[in-house]
DNA sequence: GTGACCACACTTTTT
DNA sequence: GTGTGGTCAC
């Protein structure tokens, strides 16, 4: 096996180790993808039928990459291998099996976050719940959490222990019923219902257990409970489960990922072999040391010692900017310098930030400087209004019961069907229990509709019905899309607007047409992948809709493109760059203000910091600003506590003040400007009972009789009248020093 | 039914 | 500061 020579001894053992459960703890940059792909190739080389192998990833990008790499190793012998994300695997299974669950149909559509929210709001309205008290987002969050834990409506309701949760259970019940009515599944359903099929239909489970004799899971630390059960049900029969992950890179706890899954693997599979990949091939000694030091401050982790044979490399540059603009300016300057001095290309650079909102200022500066860039987060292509509109049309053509899509487009472009008429149609549909589109054929009987409305609705129906019959005859998605844009008047309406904005929308729609064209082009491959069986009602259009509903922006990541890459720290996970700028490293930003109050949240942020640092291969720049505009208010900020967890000898400091004004000015508004003066709560520091209410500082930990413990995030003004912004456990408040019954617990 | 205007959340992170 | 959603006048 020639390829085994590419591996170090542990990697090799991981690849060669045969049957039985295997846990691979793979530190950042330790060649985990290589191990996974080689392991699959090795299984195939040993004569295992690829058809019996399932490899699961989290992103399409990771799946594609893995498929490509395996292809190189085994060539066409890989035929039949499943390499897919959790979600797309489950969709595939459900497309075959979901009709075994009462009421569900195989032709379901998939609702994204926006659709979910729309539907939740619809439910809140029906249930007469005040949207002030029951924020749609919060309710959706609770429901999603329940689904991730595989709680169905009745078990969720049974354990609802307060008023909010009781009402949320009502929403959950209605929400599920509506999804069923509209023939739609949300993201969480994909996993939950697959598990349900497995549990309720032993013969289905058995089929897949036998088929997937060898299972590999990437990023196992990011699995949530539902995904965990899904995998473990499948692996139960043969126990050939190989999971790869790094508990230090678990950064999706907030969306239900449970690090415990990887930490408990040895408990679940006592016979498991455990291997640790600890040699890092990516980063310099300096970068790796910094990352190790930071993450070493976490308590709940498996001991690991990442090392490298790479050279020591440059010191990490730490930059203190006066504000976010100056910080951006610094980044631009460094990019220019490194391009000139070291002949680097733009594609060598990545700028990473905690929140999407931070990209705006950076983008402005990049534009001004004429530096090519690409943003991999923020408003996503598929979330743009015009794209959502055209998708809604396509979905309605595909599924005449999809009320969310119907409601979205019935009056786009304007057809004189306002909110009142829409409500009447929906009400009528509800009563008649028919697909919403079909109800339009009876528009004349819908009570309360004007004749004008009736004719508008009838002609709308005719357009969609016509398009539908053409779709059934098998015209391409591109043709269908073009016809929708034309026949619904959507394009004409946009052109008539004649604004810059409308032009960009048209441009996006053209971009969308190239997506459909690509799909049409690849149709053969794609359907091949789906292993269609006779009678399986998988239309061309359905395949397209499914594909677009499962893509994320990062999936379109192009490593080679000659542009600076901007993305959130989360999106950067799994990627690497020669030069990394991590910006906005300030307490309250990163770690986020919400994480400051709970140890476990802070630890997740620290892991995110570890992930961020280990993205860099050669050079790492860390920056923070002393003042920053937040929600339109200027706020003073302190350097991130993570910065002081990096040993000073690994750092070289640069500061705008020093450059401009020289040393010794002590200009920092809150403390002297030597870095590292902040204190984390874990430090001793005697509790101080506040005696002078005027003396609050950013970073103080305080206690409020009503709101509980909190952190001072900003102080505006001085003395008794000072306005103090404090983040409490559940809320952020602005308080006036004189009146707020704040007690200072820790002080500097 | 439509469009203009105002108030007010909102900022984590995404398959 | 921005985007959304609600209200009101036409």
What pLDDT does residue A348 have?
94
Taking the alpha carbons of A102, A106, A107, A111 in that order, is the dihedral positive or negative? positive
- Does any strand B atom come closer than 7 Å to the Cβ of A86? yes
Whole-number distance in Å between A358 CA and C1 C1' = 12
Whole-number distance in Å between A631 CA and C2 C1' = 9
pLDDT bucket at A527, cuts 50 / 70 / 90: low
- Does any strand B atom come closer than 7 Å to the Cβ of A224? no
Provide the 8-state DSSP code for A208.
Answer: H
Q: Are A33 and A63 in contact (CB under 8 A)?
A: no
Helix (H, G, I), strand (E, B) or coil at A112: coil
b/e burial code for range A624-646 (CB count within 10 A of at least 16 → b):
bbbbbebeeeebbbbbbbbbbbb
- Does any strand B atom come closer than 7 Å to the Cβ of A553? yes
Dist. CA A49–CA A214, nearest whole Å: 10
Whole-number distance in Å between A383 CA and B15 C1' = 15
pLDDT bucket at A705, cuts 50 / 70 / 90: low
Strand C bases, protein C-beta under 7 A: 1-2, 6
What are A208-247's pLDDT values in tens digits? 999 999 999 999 999 999 999 999 999 999 999 999 999 9
- Does any strand B atom come closer than 7 Å to the Cβ of A87? yes
Say what the alpha-carbon torsion angle A384, A385, A389, A394 is, to the nearest 10 degrees: 0
What pLDDT does residue A731 have?
53
**Average pLDDT for A499-510:** 80
DSSP E strands, A42-135: 53-57, 82-85, 109-111
Q: Residue A149 above 90 pLDDT?
A: yes
DSSP E strands, A608-721: 616-625, 627-630, 633-636, 651-655, 701-704, 708-716
Contacts 24+ apart (CB under 8 A), A155-164: A164/A133, A164/A134
Reported pTM: 0.81
Q: Which of A556, A555, A583, A558 lies closest to A569 in space, CA to CA?
A: A583
Whole-number distance in Å between A559 CA and B7 C1' = 44
Q: Residue A379 above 80 pLDDT?
A: no
- Write out the catalytic residue numbers of A: 32-33, 218-219, 249, 615
Whole-number distance in Å between A552 CA and B15 C1' = 8
Dist. CA A202–CA A662, nearest whole Å: 74
Dist. CA A216–CA A231, nearest whole Å: 9
Q: Are A738 and A720 in contact (CB under 8 A)?
A: yes
Q: Are A604 and A553 in contact (CB under 8 A)?
A: no
**Stated length of chain A:** 748
**Average pLDDT for A562-568:** 91
**Average pLDDT for A354-383:** 84
- Does any strand B atom come closer than 7 Å to the Cβ of A595? yes
b/e burial code for range A708-736 (CB count within 10 A of at least 16 → b):
ebbbbbbbeeeeeebebbbbbeeeebebe
pLDDT bucket at A704, cuts 50 / 70 / 90: low
Taking the alpha carbons of A505, A507, A513, A519 in that order, is the dihedral positive or negative? negative
What pLDDT does residue A22 have?
96
Q: Are A446 and A426 in contact (CB under 8 A)?
A: no
Q: Which of A578, A614, A617, A553 lies closest to A246 in space, CA to CA?
A: A614
Dist. CA A223–CA A350, nearest whole Å: 27
- Does any strand B atom come closer than 7 Å to the Cβ of A606? no
Whole-number distance in Å between A132 CA and B7 C1' = 14
- Does any strand B atom come closer than 7 Å to the Cβ of A133? no
Strand B bases, protein C-beta under 7 A: 1-3, 9-15
**Average pLDDT for A287-299:** 93
Q: Which of A40, A109, A101 lies closest to A73 in space, CA to CA?
A: A40
- Does any strand B atom come closer than 7 Å to the Cβ of A411? yes
Name the strand (E) or helix (H) holding A734.
Answer: strand A732-736
- Nucleotide of closest approach to A450 (CA, C1'): B1
Q: Residue A114 above 50 pLDDT?
A: yes
Out of A16-25, A520-529, A539-548, the most confident range is: A16-25
Least trusted range by pLDDT, from A80-94, A254-268, A407-421, A635-649 = A407-421
- Nucleotide of closest approach to A418 (CA, C1'): B1
Q: Residue A326 above 80 pLDDT?
A: yes
């Amino acid at each position: 096996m020639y390829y085994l020579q590419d591996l170090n001894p542990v990697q090799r053992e991981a690849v060669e180790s045969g049957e039985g459960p295997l846990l691979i703890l793979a530190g950042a940059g330790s060649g985990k993808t290589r191990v996974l792909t080689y392991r699959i190739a090795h299984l195939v080389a040993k004569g295992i039928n690829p058809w019996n192998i399932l490899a699961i990833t989290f992103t399409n990008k990771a799946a594609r990459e893995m498929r490509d790499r395996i292809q190189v190793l085994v060539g066409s012998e890989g035929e039949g291998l499943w390499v897919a994300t959790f979600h797309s695997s489950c969709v595939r299974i459900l497309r075959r099996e979901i009709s075994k669950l009462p009421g569900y149909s195989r032709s379901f559509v998939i609702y994204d976050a926006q659709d979910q929210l729309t539907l939740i709001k619809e439910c809140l309205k029906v249930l007469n719940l005040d949207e002030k008290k029951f924020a749609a987002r919060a309710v959706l969050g609770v429901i999603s959490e329940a689904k991730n834990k595989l709680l169905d409506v009745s078990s969720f309701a049974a354990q609802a222990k307060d008023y909010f949760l009781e009402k949320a259970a009502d929403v959950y019940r209605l929400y599920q019923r509506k999804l069923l009515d509209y023939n739609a599944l949300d993201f969480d359903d994909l996993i939950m219902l697959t598990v349900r099929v497995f549990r309720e239909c032993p013969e289905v489970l058995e089929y897949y257990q036998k088929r997937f004799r060898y299972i590999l899971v990437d990023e196992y630390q990011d699995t949530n409970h539902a995904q965990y059960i899904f995998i473990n049900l499948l692996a139960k029969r043969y126990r050939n489960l190989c999971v790869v992950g790094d508990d230090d890179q678990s950064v999706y706890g907030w969306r239900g990922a449970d690090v415990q899954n990887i930490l408990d693997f040895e408990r679940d599979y006592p016979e498991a072999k455990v291997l640790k990949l600890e040699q890092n091939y990516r980063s310099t000694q300096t970068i790796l040391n910094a990352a190790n030091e930071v993450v070493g401050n976490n308590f709940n982790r498996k001991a690991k010692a990442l090392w490298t044979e790479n050279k020591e490399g440059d010191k990490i540059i730490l930059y203190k900017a006066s504000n976010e603009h100056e910080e951006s300016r610094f980044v631009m300057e460094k990019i220019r310098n490194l391009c000139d001095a070291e002949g680097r290309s733009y594609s060598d650079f990545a700028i990473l930030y905690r929140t999407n909102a931070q990209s705006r200022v950076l983008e402005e500066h990049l534009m001004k400087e004429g530096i090519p860039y690409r943003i991999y987060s923020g408003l996503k292509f598929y979330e743009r209004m015009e794209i959502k509109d055209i998708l809604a049309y396509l979905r309605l053509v595909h599924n005449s019961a999809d009320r969310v899509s119907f409601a979205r487009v019935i009056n786009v472009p304007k057809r004189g069907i306002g909110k009142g008429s829409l409500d009447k149609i929906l009400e009528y549909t509800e009563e008649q229990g028919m697909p919403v589109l079909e109800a339009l054929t009876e528009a004349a009987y819908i009570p309360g509709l004007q004749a004008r409305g009736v004719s508008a609705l009838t002609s709308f129906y005719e357009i969609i019905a016509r398009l539908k019959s053409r779709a059934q005859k098998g015209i391409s998605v591109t043709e269908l899309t073009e016809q929708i844009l034309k026949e619904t008047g959507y394009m004409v309406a946009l052109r008539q607007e004649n604004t810059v904005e409308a032009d960009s929308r048209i441009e996006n729609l053209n971009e969308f047409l190239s997506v459909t064209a690509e799909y049409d082009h690849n149709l053969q491959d794609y359907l091949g992948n789906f292993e269609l069986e006779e009678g399986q009602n998988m239309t061309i259009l359905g395949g397209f809709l499914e594909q677009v509903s499962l893509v994320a922006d990062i999936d379109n990541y192009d490593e080679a493109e000659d542009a600076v890459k901007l993305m959130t720290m989360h999106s950067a996970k799994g990627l690497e760059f020669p030069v990394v700028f991590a910006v906005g490293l300030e307490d309250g930003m990163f770690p986020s203000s919400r994480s400051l109050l709970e140890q476990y949240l802070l630890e997740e942020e620290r892991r995110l910091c570890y992930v961020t640092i280990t993205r860099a291969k050669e050079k790492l720049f860390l920056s923070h600003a002393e003042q920053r505009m937040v929600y339109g208010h200027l706020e003073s900020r302190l350097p991130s506590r993570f910065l002081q967890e990096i040993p000073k000898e690994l750092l070289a400091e640069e500061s705008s003040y020093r450059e401009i004004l020289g040393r010794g000015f002590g200009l920092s508004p809150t403390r002297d400007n030597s870095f590292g003066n902040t204190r984390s709560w874990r430090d001793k520091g005697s509790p101080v009972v506040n005696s002078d209410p005027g003396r609050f500082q950013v970073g103080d930990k305080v206690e409020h009789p009503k709101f509980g413990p909190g952190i001072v995030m900003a102080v505006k003004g001085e003395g008794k009248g000072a306005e103090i912004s404090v983040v409490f456990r559940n809320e952020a408040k602005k308080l006036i020093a004189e009146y707020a019954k704040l007690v200072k617990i820790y002080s500097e």
